[in-house]
Structure 1
Amino acid sequence: MAERPQSDLGSVLRHEAERHLPDRDVMLTRIVQRRTEPAPSRWVWSLRPVAAAASVVATLVVGFAGIRLAGDRPEPERDRAPAAGEDSPAPSSSPAARSKAPAREGPGREEPVERRPPPPATVTPTWRPVDGFLSSAAVVDGHSIGTWAQGNVTLTTTATITALDVVITVAKTAEVQEAGRWTTIPADMVTTAVSEEKERLVYRFTLRQGTLAPGSYVFAVQYTHADGERDPARDTYGALATAGGRQAGVTGAFPAT
């Protein structure tokens, strides 16, 4: 086929272009159709968050439903005798039923041994008869007799005391009753008191004014008891003193007879 000259090709194209008339109605119809059709990609992306929200709501509904069902769970049906023609129900395999079943005895099975708790340990108090500038000692007075006794606590200080509190206890052994108290500190400088508790008498001496120079001071408690020798091992004492901004505390017990 012979090739047409370039000038003839151009005239042919111009002729075809002039001969072609676009159909305006067809073009408008296509535009309207494209505008009314949904874009697939836009709707796919817009539905994803809606689906996610629906999933969350469904999870919450299931959770609340589970809680409600657990609270509305009916009481377990009690055991009843089988009616005529019914088979006896199979034994329950629940943990409660298994726990009620008697233990089977077999070879080598040992019966549980009841273990008793160990007896409470005896605690021996740790006394502190000496502390800093303060030292102490306790003894039953030698003038004590069969139904009357006196316990003496002696405090010795190497510093000037500005505050002092002394407590002496007498255990309530047979027929123990309070019978008096005294101290070598002048009466106008100290207050004394005695109280009764369930298991002991409590004597108290308190320095209310003045100061105590370095030296020794005696605090005596008197009591009556059943006729015979009494063991004072459960009688105790304690003292707290202040001197020059320092504090010292001593504790102790009367020696056993």
Structure 2
Amino acid sequence: MNEHITRQLREAAEAHQPDRARMLARVQRGAAGPAVRHRARSGLRSWPKVALAGLAAVGALATGGLAMAGIGSWTPTPSDTVTTAPATPSPTVEPTPTPTRSAPPPAAPAPATPAPPTGAPTGTPTGPRPTPSASSRAQNGPLWSEASIDPHSTVFWAQSNLTLRTTQPLTSLTVELRIAQTGDVRDTGNWRTLPVDDFTVTVQETGGALVYRWVLKPGRTVPAGQHEFAGQYNHATGVRGSANDGYRVDAQSAGGSASVWGGFPPGR
């Protein structure tokens, strides 16, 4: 009888279709609290105790295996899935570019030397001294003189300079520059290092030359030292010859009267 019961139980277990929902509910209740005892069915009370014990053992084994199989194959429903929020990406720090040292700008070309403005001195003449001749006298009494063509002169403009030195104060002085008319010679200005108000200045074309004349006003005095006089003029384009140019200085000092005169070196 026991083998018959065992065989029936085995066949019943193999043919049993587990109720998945009920098993899950039982597993959940078991995890939540103590197991609830159920009343045994009334039909089983007539079975012998040995049959009931075997049936209970086989049933427990079958139920437990099915429950474990159900749990192993159970896939959580969408409501049980835990969604993890994506981690906030750390801000990307861009590397700071290394500053590149720029090449220095090219040096600006040196400005061309402009022609000296009208009425402005250009410094001590550096041109060659005129060759002494019977028609020139560069030194007399307290006076010493030297004529030159200014180095800033160009092919269409020139300046004739006269340097005058005196070792004594002068109470009378007349300075005259004669610029030969070699073609389109026209006055563009003049200057001197002595006070403007001390002289009367005239510029006129006469005898085939442009003549600059400075005359010391009465009651004025020229101190001892070096002084400059200059005449400025345009001329025909090209190298201008100055062989026919000249100067003359007449002065009066405590030692008496003195005069110097001479010509200019070759022009440019």
Q: TM-score, normalised by structure 2?
A: 0.48
CA distance in structure 2 between the partners assigned to 1:185 and 1:233 by the alignment: 28
Q: Which amino acid counterpart does residue 251 of structure 2 have in structure 1?
A: A
Asked if 1:222 corresponds to 2:229, the answer is no
The equivalent of 1:72 in structure 2 is none
CA distance in structure 2 between the partners assigned to 1:211 and 1:127 by the alignment: 26
The equivalent of 1:152 in structure 2 is 161
- Which digits, 9 at most, give the CA deviation of each residue in 1:203-232, with x for residues without a partner? 100111421111111110011001111111
CA distance in structure 2 between the partners assigned to 1:130 and 1:254 by the alignment: 15
The equivalent of 2:202 in structure 1 is 193
Asked if 1:238 corresponds to 2:214, the answer is no
Asked if 1:131 corresponds to 2:140, the answer is yes
Unaligned regions of 5+ residues in structure 1, if any? 1-123
CA distance in structure 1 between the partners assigned to 2:254 and 2:207 by the alignment: 38
C-alpha deviation, 1:126, in angstroms: 1.5
CA distance in structure 2 between the partners assigned to 1:213 and 1:227 by the alignment: 39
Structure 1 runs (4+) greater than 4 angstroms displaced = none
The equivalent of 1:203 in structure 2 is 212
Q: Which amino acid counterpart does residue 266 of structure 2 have in structure 1?
A: A
The equivalent of 1:142 in structure 2 is 151
Q: Which amino acid counterpart does residue 179 of structure 1 have in structure 2?
A: T
Larger Rg: 2
Look up the SS of the partner of 1:188 in the other structure.
helix
Look up the SS of the partner of 2:197 in the other structure.
helix
The equivalent of 2:109 in structure 1 is none
Asked if 1:256 corresponds to 2:266, the answer is yes
The equivalent of 2:173 in structure 1 is 164
Q: Which amino acid counterpart does residue 167 of structure 1 have in structure 2?
A: E
C-alpha deviation, 1:136, in angstroms: 0.2
Q: Which amino acid counterpart does residue 153 of structure 2 have in structure 1?
A: S
1:173-184 alignment to 2 at 5 Å? 173-184=182-193
Look up the SS of the partner of 2:135 in the other structure.
coil
- Which digits, 9 at most, give the CA deviation of each residue in 1:118-165, with x for residues without a partner? xxxxxx852111101101000001111121100000110000111100
CA distance in structure 1 between the partners assigned to 2:258 and 2:207 by the alignment: 29
Q: Which amino acid counterpart does residue 237 of structure 1 have in structure 2?
A: Y
Q: How many residues align?
A: 134
CA distance in structure 2 between the partners assigned to 1:255 and 1:159 by the alignment: 28
CA distance in structure 1 between the partners assigned to 2:152 and 2:159 by the alignment: 8
CA distance in structure 2 between the partners assigned to 1:174 and 1:201 by the alignment: 11
The equivalent of 1:47 in structure 2 is none
C-alpha deviation, 1:246, in angstroms: 0.7
Unaligned regions of 5+ residues in structure 2, if any? 1-132
Look up the SS of the partner of 2:145 in the other structure.
strand
